Structure 1
C-alpha cells in the first residue's frame, strides 16, 4: 500500500484491521495493532512525506508466527531515527523500531500471532486486497465504535475493580478486627503466663525451702537418734554378756529382739543421714585413681558373710587387668555394697554376680541376681525415696538405699540403670567415665 495523503491513513488502518483478523489475532489485539499502525503512518506522512507499506507474515524455525508491517519512508528520517509522537504506541505492539530491508531503512512494527490461530490460506490472502477501501467518515465511525467499546470495557473493569476494592476493604476490616482480637487474647495470655511464671517461681522457692528444711530435719533427727540407738544396742550386748547375771530364755529372747530392732533403727537412721547429706550437697568426692581389682577384692571378703543360705551363691568376678578409673573409692564401694546387699536380700536361690567391663572411655559394673525380678512400670519408682516393690515388705529395708546409690553415682559422673523382668531376675548397671568428672 502507498501512504501519500491523509486519506491513505484510514485505508492503511482498515487494511491493518483486516490483516490482523485474517492471521488470527483477537479483537482487542486487532484494535491495538490498527491504532498503532495509523499513528505510525501519520508520523511518517508528516516526517517523510509518506511511505510504502508492506504487510509480512513470518514463521520462525521454531514454529513461532509473527505479523510485521514495514513502512519504508519516501525520504530519510531526521537524524536517521524514529521516535513515535505518542509514547503509548510502542506499548500496543511487541516491537517497534528501525530495520534494514534490502539496503533501505524501514520502520518495522510486529505482533506475535497466537499458536492456536488458523494458518493464512491463499484464498483468504487473495480476499484481503479486494475489499473496498472505506471512506474517512466510515473509518472514523468504526474508530468511534471501537473507542466506545473500549471505554465500555474500561468502565466494566473499573466497576469490577471497585467491587473488588470494596470486598478487599471489607476483608481488611475483618482481618484487622481478627488481628485486634488475637492481639488482645495474646496479651491476656501473656499476662496469664507471666502470672503463672511468678507463681511457679514462688512455688519453686517454697519447694526449695521445704526441701532444705526437710534435709536439715533429717540430718538433725538422724544425728540425735544415733546416740540413743547405739546406747540401746550396747546395753543389750552388756545384758547378754557372759559376765552379767544369767538371763532366762524368755529374757534372752526379748533382749535379742530389742537389739535386732535397734540395729534396724540404726540402719534407718544412717540411711536418712546419708540421704540428707547427699541432698544438701555436703558430699564432696575425693578424686583418685581407683583400681577395681582392689575394690572387688574388699567387697568379696566383707560381703561373703551376708550369704547365709546355701541356695544362694555370691560371685564377684575378677575385673580385667588394668581396670583403673578416676573416682572416689569410698563412695564407689558404698554404692556397690548397697547393690550387692539388696541383691542378696531379695534372692532366695541361684546366684548374685558382680562383674566389670571396659567400653571405650567408660567402665560398666553390673550387679545381677536370679531373684523375682521387677515389672517394667516400677523400674523408675524403685529409685524413689521410701518406695518398696509390692510383696517385699516382709524383708527388712527402708527404701532409701537405691535413691542414695543413684545420687552417689551421679556425683561420680555416671548413671545407675536397671534391667529386669518378672521371673528373670534383675541387673543393675553402674556406668562411670574412666576419666572421672
Structure 2
C-alpha cells in the first residue's frame, strides 16, 4: 500500500540535504583557501631566497670567492638553491653535482627571468625525480646579465604546511559525507518505495493492484504514472482479448477452407497451419508448428517455389506430381508491416481431377468428332450414288451441303481441341515456303471464283520463329474466310516487320464485316452468312486467334462494308526455338492440316 509522505518529512529532508551540501561546500572552500595561501607563501619564500642568493653571488664575484659555498649551509627543509651562468648551465647546486644538471636556458622560469621578470613555474625535474615549484631571478652586475639564481622546493611541501588544517577538516568532511550518504539512501528508499510497488504490480500485470494504486494516487508525477499505468493495462487486457477472438475466428476460417494452408517464418519453419495442412502432410504425433517445411512435404517443385518467393519477393505458383497425384502449390510473401519479420503463406491443393479433365475433354472431342465424321462420310458417298437418279438433284444438293458443313464442323472442333492441348514447336519458318504451299492449295479455288490470291513478302519479314503447321493453318483459315466473303477483286497475303515484331496480314476486297459484328468474330460458333448465303462453321477465326495467342502474338481486324477486310497479326521476333524443330512434310492437298 502506498501512503503519501508527510509534509514535515519532506521539509526536513530538504533542510538536511541543503545543510549538508552547504557544510560540505564550506569545508571544501576552507581547504582550498588554506592550500592557496600555502602556495602563495611558499612562492614568496622561494622568491626571497632567490633574490638573497643573487645578491650574495654578486658580492662573491667582487670578492673573487667561489660560488659553491653560497648554496651550502643550514637551509629550511626541502629548499634547493641553484646558480646558473648566463647560458643556463649549472654553476653550483645545494643538492646535486652541477655536472649532472641539464642546461635550463629553455625552461619557462629562466626565460621569464631573462626577460626581466621573476620566473615562476611548476615542472618535473629529472635530477630530483619529482615535481618542483621553482622561482628564478636574473643576476645582474652593472646592468649586465651574468647568471640566474634559482630557488625551488617540492610541490607536496605546500600540502605539508596545510596539514594542520587538513588534520581536522578532512575527517570532518568524511564524517559529514558519510552521514549525508546514509541520509540520502534512506530518503531514496522512502521515495522509491511507491515506484517499487508500481513496478511489482506491472510485472504481475495485476489489474486489481494497479486499481488500488490509482485510487490512492496523488497529483504528483508518480500519481499520474500510477493512473496511466492502470489505464494502459486495462487497454492491454482488452486488446489481448480482442486478439484472442480474432485469432480464434481466423483459425476457424482457415479450417473451413478446403486448401491446406501454412504460414512460414523467414527460415522456413511452420508458424501455424490449418487442419487441412495437418491432414495433407499426414502429421504424426509431433506437432506441425516449429518444424521445417522440408520435413513435412516431399514436393521439390513446391520447395523450390518457396525459396524463389523468399529470395525474389514475388508470388510463385507451380504444379507438382507425386505418386500419380497432382498438386497446386502457391506461395505468397505476407506484408512485412503486419509482422515483425517476413512471413510466407503456402497454399496446397490436390488438383488431380482438374488436371485430368482437359485430357478427358480432348479425348471426348476427338472420339466424338471421329464418330461423327465416319457416318457422315458414308452418307456423302451414298448421296453421290443417288444423284444419278433423275428428280433428286435439288434435294440431294441440300443434303450434300449440310453433310459437308457437319464434316467441316467436326474437323474444326477436333483441330481446336488439339490446339488447346498442344504447345507450339518453335522453329525458324520461311514465309516464302508457306507462300508456295498456300498458292498450290488455293490455285483451283482462285480460278473457279476469279478472285486472285497475291503475296507480298519483304526480305526482312520472310523469316520468323513459330510453329510451321500452326502458321500454315492460320493462313488457310484466313484465306478461306476471305474467299467466303469475296466475289470479285483480290486477296493479298503480306509479311513485313517492325522493331520487335513480324507483321503478317491477310486482306480482301469482299463485302466486309458490319461494325456490330467485329467485337464477336473471334468467338466460337459465331458466324454470319455471306452475300451468297453460305454460313461457315463459326470456328475458323477462333482457331486463328488460338494460334496467334500460342505464339504470344496479337491479332487486329479492320473492315469496311462493301470495301473489304484486313486481318493484321503481330508475332514477336524474340520467340526463339523452344523445342527441336519439327520436320515439315510436303504441302497437303487438303485445306485442313493435321496438327
Tell whether the 8 Å contact from 1:373 to 1:425 is kept in structure 2 after alignment: no
SS at the partner of 2:546? helix
Deviation at 1:267, TM superposition (A): 0.7
- Is the counterpart of residue 229 in structure 1 residue 376 in structure 2? yes
State how 1:273-312 maps to structure 2 within 5 Å: 273-281=414-422, 285=425, 288-303=427-442, 306=445
State how 1:97-246 maps to structure 2 within 5 Å: 156-194=220-258, 205-240=352-387
Deviation at 1:195, TM superposition (A): 5.2
C-alpha separation between the residues in 2 aligned to 1:315 and 1:34? 116
Tell whether the 8 Å contact from 1:45 to 1:51 is kept in structure 2 after alignment: no
Equivalent position to 1:262, from 394, 403, 423: 403
The answer for the alignment partner of 1:328 in structure 2 is 467
SS at the partner of 1:366? strand
Tell whether the 8 Å contact from 2:457 to 2:496 is kept in structure 1 after alignment: no
C-alpha separation between the residues in 2 aligned to 1:192 and 1:278? 38
- Is the counterpart of residue 43 in structure 1 residue 24 in structure 2? yes
C-alpha separation between the residues in 2 aligned to 1:350 and 1:259? 29
Task: Name the count of aligned residue pairs.
Answer: 308
The answer for the alignment partner of 2:154 in structure 1 is none
| Higher RCO (C-alpha 8 Å, min separation 6) | 1
Tell whether the 8 Å contact from 2:529 to 2:535 is kept in structure 1 after alignment: no
Deviation at 1:176, TM superposition (A): 1.1
Tell whether the 8 Å contact from 2:548 to 2:555 is kept in structure 1 after alignment: no
SS at the partner of 1:405? helix
C-alpha separation between the residues in 2 aligned to 1:303 and 1:190? 61
Tell whether the 8 Å contact from 1:406 to 1:415 is kept in structure 2 after alignment: no
Give the unaligned 5+ runs of structure 2. Answer: 1-13, 34-161, 185-216, 262-275, 277-327, 329-347, 579-595
- Is the counterpart of residue 427 in structure 1 residue 408 in structure 2? no
| 1:326-351, Cα deviation, whole Å (9 max, x unpaired) | 43333211111112222443467876
Structure with greater Cα Rg: 2
- The normalised TM-score by structure 2 is 0.42
SS at the partner of 1:317? strand
Deviation at 1:217, TM superposition (A): 1.5
Tell whether the 8 Å contact from 1:374 to 1:420 is kept in structure 2 after alignment: no
Distance verdict in 2 for CA 1:359–1:41, change over 3 Å: same
C-alpha separation between the residues in 2 aligned to 1:176 and 1:389? 67
C-alpha separation between the residues in 2 aligned to 1:358 and 1:170? 73
| 1:254-305, Cα deviation, whole Å (9 max, x unpaired) | 2222222221111111112212323343x763x5542212312432453365
SS at the partner of 1:398? coil
Deviation at 1:223, TM superposition (A): 1.6
State how 1:59-78 maps to structure 2 within 5 Å: none
Deviation at 1:430, TM superposition (A): 4.3
Deviation at 1:373, TM superposition (A): 4.7
Deviation at 1:166, TM superposition (A): 1.4
C-alpha separation between the residues in 2 aligned to 1:238 and 1:35? 135
Deviation at 1:356, TM superposition (A): 1.5
SS at the partner of 2:524? coil
State how 1:406-425 maps to structure 2 within 5 Å: 406-411=545-550, 413-420=551-558, 425=565
Deviation at 1:386, TM superposition (A): 2.9
C-alpha separation between the residues in 1 aligned to 2:417 and 2:461? 35
Tell whether the 8 Å contact from 2:506 to 2:568 is kept in structure 1 after alignment: yes
Distance verdict in 2 for CA 1:306–1:36, change over 3 Å: farther
Distance verdict in 2 for CA 1:408–1:315, change over 3 Å: same
- The normalised TM-score by structure 1 is 0.55
Deviation at 1:172, TM superposition (A): 0.9
Tell whether the 8 Å contact from 1:313 to 1:350 is kept in structure 2 after alignment: yes
SS at the partner of 1:186? helix
Between Structure 1 and Structure 2, the one with more helix by share is: 1
- Is the counterpart of residue 319 in structure 1 residue 458 in structure 2? yes
SS at the partner of 1:265? helix
Tell whether the 8 Å contact from 1:325 to 1:436 is kept in structure 2 after alignment: no
Equivalent position to 1:386, from 525, 541, 555: 525
C-alpha separation between the residues in 2 aligned to 1:154 and 1:39? 29
C-alpha separation between the residues in 1 aligned to 2:506 and 2:440? 16
The answer for the alignment partner of 2:393 in structure 1 is 252
C-alpha separation between the residues in 2 aligned to 1:419 and 1:34? 100
Equivalent position to 1:405, from 526, 540, 544: 544
Tell whether the 8 Å contact from 2:479 to 2:491 is kept in structure 1 after alignment: yes
Give the unaligned 5+ runs of structure 1. Answer: 1-32, 53-73, 90-152
